[in-house]
Amino acid sequence: MTRAIYPGSFDPVTNGHLDVIKRSAKIVDELIVGVLNNNLKSPLFNVDNRVKMLNEVVADIPNVKVMAFDGLLVDFAHQVDAQVIIRGLRAVTDFEYELQMSQTNMVLDDNIETLFLSTKLEYAYLNSSTVKEVASHGGDISRFVPDVVAKQIINKIEELKENKNE
């Protein structure tokens, strides 16, 4: 049985992430979406909310499970007994960082392989940061993220603006 991890910050999950999840779930027996609980970054959504949104959008894919993790990815892979790490590659700009990360993980544990899925052309430009930026200026994000996620982003941005004005 092949169990893989698709790790990321997912702040928040985009249609590009969801596409990689769906395609990966077809090629492995079990896919764990690993949501990094990263104290160094200040995410828009806390890890529980990111996990919740992911759970909503993967609810109809039976072999996908969403879990938060702290620390090293290879340690998380050991914990859940995963042999494969999946990452999406959008463009050449992703390549250097992704190569470094996969090679670091390979040095840490050479029994764990990283597999890259190339992003579909329609999502090649997409990332969580630009979605948040567009939303913060009132732009239309309906083509970037699932509806449930778009609602959460808009609410969160409203909430932040209200708190700022208080």
Using the minimum distance from each CB to ligand PNS, give the nearer residue, 80 or 101.
101
105 binds ligand PNS (CB under 6 A): yes
Q: How far apart are CA 64 and CA 55, in angstroms?
A: 9
Q: How far apart are CA 27 and CA 6, in angstroms?
A: 13
Instruction: Write phi, then psi, for 64 (nearest 5 degrees).
Output: -115, 135
Least distance in angstroms from the C-beta of 93 to ligand PNS:
12
User: Does 78 participate in catalysis according to the annotation?
Assistant: no
Using the minimum distance from each CB to ligand PNS, give the nearer residue, 18 or 36.
36
119 binds ligand PNS (CB under 6 A): no
71 in helix, strand or coil?
Answer: coil
CB 33 within 8 A of CB 67: yes
Among the options 9, 17, 50, 132, which is catalytic? 17
Per-residue binding letters, 82-101, with ligand PNS (x by CB under 6 A): -------------------x
64 binds ligand PNS (CB under 6 A): no
Burial group, residue 80, by CB count within 10 angstroms (0-12, 13-18, 19+) = middle
Instruction: Choose which of 8, 12, 16, 146 interacts with ligand PNS (CB under 6 A).
Output: 8
59 in helix, strand or coil?
Answer: coil
Task: Kindly report whether the peptide bond that precedes residue 43 is cis, defined as omega within 30 degrees of 0.
Answer: no
Q: Which stretch binds ligand PNS (CB under 6 A): 1-9, 20-28, 60-68, 157-165?
A: 1-9
Q: How far apart are CA 24 and CA 43, in angstroms?
A: 25
User: Does 17 participate in catalysis according to the annotation?
Assistant: yes
Instruction: Write phi, then psi, for 72 (nearest 5 degrees).
Output: -75, 140
Using the minimum distance from each CB to ligand PNS, give the nearer residue, 36 or 44.
36
User: Does 41 participate in catalysis according to the annotation?
Assistant: yes
Active site residues: 17, 41, 90, 128
Footprint of ligand PNS (CB under 6 A): 7-9, 36, 72-73, 101, 104-105
